[in-house]
């Protein structure tokens, strides 16, 4: 199915490139795409989907050495993964989020070929599937969902699907034990069919249904200010099919248009900026398009928060994956400023902007997070700073992997929909509100004598864990090592943020021993050794009998933090002799 879809898309795009070549519109600037192709074979439309992967729950899987639970990563931890079987079956597509104003619970709203799935992710390491809203008519590979006024608005490319509306306030009272896989829709809007996408301007109360059987596939405008009584408001059909858009009440740098409602449309072969303030007479302000016929598909984009730039991706562009940076500071004269070239050739898909970061779901390359501050501050380029790859095999062309993501939860968690795998809940490092650190690591040596009179000693390390505010943390699991990493031990902090880790008893006593903390696990927190004052402590015997000098890692040379090799070797030799 994916192979057929890929080649049908190629044929369709070649045909649509002529759209608008002579549309009588003069305010047009052009794109070019200089990103060089990769050296390896980038076309991979026939790659089989990934094999079944069990769900991952109950504990944060930290990204260590570029891996989290066997998924490639950089600076993003895995909170949980729920596979498609545990979600209720089907393949996934779009994803969105909603937070209950009554309970603060964060919810994932997941589009699938079998309907719309709702999951409670308030405990991000243990998502709970609450239920599924079945399609209005038949199943479809393409479903899209957005939210407004505590309601979800859902469209599908299925014939007769229309727009489903679901009251999200019901989610708080649904069972957490048994999911309801036959949830009823709250209301239905039937004036449209075969809709590819839905765009909602939450500030105006209008929905824009695009890529449908109405308005030549352009903006089908619906007043949803009363969510259970949506009303048709107008059409924008002049530029033909619209694949996706972002519509805003404009408050950007172009003073000529402040206060107007503006849509930034990704129209397959152009970015078209439209004034939709008057729903009966929408007006094109400017367009940015390719110079000539080429294999491409202007798919989707999002504004930077200052509304000076529109970041756009091309789903079918050959060569390296590219994000185009469109300067829209003058809405009547938008133009391509530059582009950012990734180091892979995966097909690009949905991207969103939150603060100074761009969150880009890029099919086989997974979720990519880019720092856009250099662009905003001084006109520089984007910089990739983190990734979580939901497709392990490669980062080439093909329609598997990450379809979309939702980055706006207050918790800092991000949700990703992987077409063939399932729901991922991840946490970028820079979104952590609280980082754990060891601020007081102490240790003592305890003398022991067994019944036979043999003398031995053991180390007892006391670890105290604090959060970023200096408060102690209860319930954190501490993992550490002794004897040059040969021995491991753990403990859980008490109400005072403390716990004791005890080494095994070492015969003939201890001359030198080091204990090192290598991990602290606690929900919503992360452990970063760079932030720790004391992550290791070394005790060395002094010239005074049974006295030890303690040196903490703050004052310890890096190559000495786990120094106890001689003691470890002597222990091994003792065991060999026995």
DSSP string, 114-138: TEEEEEE-SSTTS-EEEEEEPPSSS
Of 176-180, 216-220, 496-500, 525-529, minimum mean pLDDT range: 525-529
How much of the chain exceeds pLDDT 90, in percent? 61
Residue 4 confidence (pLDDT): 55
Q: How many Cα atoms occupy the beta-carbon half-sphere of 300 within 13 Å?
A: 21
CB atoms within 10 A of CB 267: 25
Band of the pLDDT at 34, cuts 50, 70, 90? low
Of 54-68, 237-251, 393-407, minimum mean pLDDT range: 393-407
The two three-digit tokens of residue 549, written as one number: 């000098």
Of 38-42, 195-199, 268-272, 523-527, minimum mean pLDDT range: 38-42
Predicted confidence (pLDDT) per residue in 451-463, tens digit: 677 788 888 999 9
Give the strand pairing for 115-120 and 128-133.
antiparallel
Rounded mean pLDDT, 140-159: 96
Predicted confidence (pLDDT) per residue in 496-521, tens digit: 999 998 888 877 778 888 888 888 88
How many Å apart are CA 35 and CA 341, to the nearest integer? 6
Q: How far is CA 224 from CA 148, 158, 201, 204, 228, in A?
A: 8, 22, 10, 9, 8
Band of the pLDDT at 317, cuts 50, 70, 90? confident
pTM: 0.76
Quickly count helices (H) and strands (E) in the chain.
4, 42
How many Å apart are CA 16 and CA 64, to the nearest integer? 45
Predicted confidence (pLDDT) per residue in 84-123, tens digit: 999 998 999 999 999 999 999 999 999 999 999 999 999 9
Rounded mean pLDDT, 147-166: 97
The two three-digit tokens of residue 574, written as one number: 């003792």
Q: Residue 59 above 80 pLDDT? A: yes
Dihedral over Cα of 73, 75, 76, 78: its sign: positive
Domains and their CATH numbers in the chain: 2-431 (2.130.10.10), 434-577 (2.60.40)
Of 66-70, 471-475, 477-481, 546-550, minimum mean pLDDT range: 546-550
The H-or-E segment that residue 6 falls in is helix 2-16
Q: Residue 294 above 70 pLDDT? A: no
Structural contact between residues 245 and 208, judged by C-beta atoms closer than 8 angstroms: yes
DSSP 329: S
Structural contact between residues 116 and 145, judged by C-beta atoms closer than 8 angstroms: yes
Q: Residue 534 above 90 pLDDT? A: no
Residue whose pair of structure tokens reads 């709250």 in the numeric block: 186
How does 372-400 read in b/e, with b if 16+ C-beta sit within 10 Å? beebbeeeebbebbbbbbbbeebbbbbbb
Residue 222 confidence (pLDDT): 98
Structural contact between residues 504 and 487, judged by C-beta atoms closer than 8 angstroms: yes
Rounded mean pLDDT, 200-209: 98
Give the strand pairing for 477-482 and 512-521.
antiparallel
Give the strand pairing for 244-249 and 261-266.
antiparallel
Residue 551 confidence (pLDDT): 84
How many Å apart are CA 39 and CA 119, to the nearest integer? 42
Q: Residue 445 above 60 pLDDT? A: yes
Rounded mean pLDDT, 426-446: 84
The DSSP bridge partners found for residue 276 are: none
Structural contact between residues 195 and 209, judged by C-beta atoms closer than 8 angstroms: yes
The DSSP bridge partners found for residue 336 are: 326
Band of the pLDDT at 26, cuts 50, 70, 90? very low
Q: Residue 572 above 60 pLDDT? A: no
Q: Residue 79 above 60 pLDDT? A: yes
How many Å apart are CA 221 and CA 163, to the nearest integer? 12
Q: How far is CA 83 from CA 63, 168, 369, 407, 485, in A?
A: 20, 23, 23, 20, 35
Cα 7 to chain centroid, rounded: 29
The two three-digit tokens of residue 3, written as one number: 């192979």
Residue whose pair of structure tokens reads 């929900």 in the numeric block: 523
Structural contact between residues 106 and 122, judged by C-beta atoms closer than 8 angstroms: yes
How many Å apart are CA 430 and CA 208, to the nearest integer? 33
Q: Residue 413 above 70 pLDDT? A: yes
Residue 16 or 224, more confident: 224
Average pLDDT over the chain, rounded to an integer: 86
Rounded mean pLDDT, 262-273: 95
Structural contact between residues 327 and 309, judged by C-beta atoms closer than 8 angstroms: yes
- Please state the three-class secondary structure of 296-350 as a single string: CCEEEEEECCCCCEEEEEECCCCCCCEEEEEECCCCCCCEEEEEEECCCCCCCCC
Q: How many Cα atoms occupy the beta-carbon half-sphere of 171 within 13 Å?
A: 32
How many Å apart are CA 399 and CA 137, to the nearest integer? 25
Rounded mean pLDDT, 464-482: 87
The DSSP bridge partners found for residue 418 are: 402, 422
The two three-digit tokens of residue 534, written as one number: 């004391």
Band of the pLDDT at 561, cuts 50, 70, 90? very low
Residue 577 or 13, more confident: 13
Band of the pLDDT at 542, cuts 50, 70, 90? confident
Residue 117 confidence (pLDDT): 98
Residue 363 confidence (pLDDT): 92
Structural contact between residues 277 and 283, judged by C-beta atoms closer than 8 angstroms: no
Residue 555 or 349, more confident: 349
The two three-digit tokens of residue 479, written as one number: 């993992």
Residue 132 confidence (pLDDT): 98
Residue whose pair of structure tokens reads 């890096």 in the numeric block: 558
Residue 3 confidence (pLDDT): 52
Rounded mean pLDDT, 314-341: 92
Structural contact between residues 279 and 272, judged by C-beta atoms closer than 8 angstroms: no
How many Å apart are CA 490 and CA 477, to the nearest integer? 7
Of 263-277, 333-347, 530-544, minimum mean pLDDT range: 530-544
Rounded mean pLDDT, 400-405: 94
């Amino acid at each position: 199915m994916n192979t057929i879809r890929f080649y049908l898309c190629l044929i369709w795009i070649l045909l649509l490139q002529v759209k608008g070549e002579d549309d009588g519109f003069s305010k047009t600037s052009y794109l070019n795409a200089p990103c060089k192709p990769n050296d390896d074979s980038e076309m991979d439309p026939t790659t089989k989907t990934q094999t079944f992967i069990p769900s991952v729950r109950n504990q944060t899987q930290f990204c260590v050495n570029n891996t989290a639970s066997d998924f490639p990563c950089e600076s993003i931890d895995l909170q949980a993964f729920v596979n498609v079987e545990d979600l209720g079956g089907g393949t996934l597509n779009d994803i969105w989020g909603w937070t209950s104003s009554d309970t603060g619970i964060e919810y994932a709203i997941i589009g699938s070929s079998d309907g719309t799935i709702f999951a409670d992710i308030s405990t991000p390491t243990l998502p709970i599937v609450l239920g599924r809203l079945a399609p209005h008519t038949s199943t479809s590979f393409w479903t899209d969902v957005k939210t407004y006024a505590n309601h979800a608005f859902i469209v599908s490319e299925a014939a007769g699907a229309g727009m489903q509306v679901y009251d999200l306030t019901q989610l708080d009272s649904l069972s957490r034990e048994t999911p309801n896989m036959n949830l009823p829709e709250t209301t239905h809007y039937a004036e449209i069919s075969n809709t590819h996408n839905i765009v909602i301007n939450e500030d105006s109360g209008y929905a824009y249904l695009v890529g449908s059987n109405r308005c030549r596939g352009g903006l089908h405008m619906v007043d949803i200010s009363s969510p259970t009584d949506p009303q048709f408001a107008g059409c924008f059909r002049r530029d033909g099919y619209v694949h996706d858009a972002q519509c805003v009440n404009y408050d950007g740098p172009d003073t000529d248009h402040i206060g107007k409602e503006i849509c930034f449309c990704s129209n397959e072969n152009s970015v078209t900026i439209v004034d939709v303030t008057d729903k009966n007479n929408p007006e094109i302000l400017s367009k940015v398009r390719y110079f000539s016929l080429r294999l491409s598909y202007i798919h989707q984009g999002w504004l930077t928060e200052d509304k000076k730039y529109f970041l756009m991706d091309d789903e079918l562009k050959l060569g390296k994956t590219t994000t185009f940076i469109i300067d829209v500071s003058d809405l009547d004269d938008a133009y391509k400023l530059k582009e950012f070239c990734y180091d892979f050739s995966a097909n690009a898909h949905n991207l969103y902007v939150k603060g100074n970061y761009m969150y880009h779901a890029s099919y086989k390359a997974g979720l990519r997070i880019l720092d856009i501050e250099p662009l905003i501050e001084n006109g520089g380029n984007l910089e990739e700073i983190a990734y979580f790859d939901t497709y392990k095999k490669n980062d080439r062309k093909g329609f598997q992997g990450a379809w979309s993501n939702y980055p706006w939860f207050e918790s800092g968690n991000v949700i990703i929909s992987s077409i063939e795998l399932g729901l991922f809940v991840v946490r970028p490092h820079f979104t952590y509100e609280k980082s754990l650190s060891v601020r007081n690591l102490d240790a003592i040596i305890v003398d022991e004598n067994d019944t036979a009179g043999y003398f031995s000693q053991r180390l007892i390390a006391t670890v105290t864990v604090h959060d970023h505010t200096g408060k102690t943390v209860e319930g954190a699991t501490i993992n550490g090592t002794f004897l040059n990493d040969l021995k491991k031990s753990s403990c859980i902090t008490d109400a005072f943020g403390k716990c004791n880790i005890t080494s095994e008893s070492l015969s003939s006593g201890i001359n030198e021993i080091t204990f090192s903390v290598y991990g602290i696990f606690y929900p919503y927190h992360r452990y970063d050794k760079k932030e720790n004052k004391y992550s290791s402590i070394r005790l060395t015997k002094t010239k005074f009998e049974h006295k030890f000098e303690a040196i903490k890692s703050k004052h310890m040379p890096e190559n000495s933090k786990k120094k106890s090799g001689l003691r470890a070797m002597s222990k091994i030799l003792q065991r060999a002799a026995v």
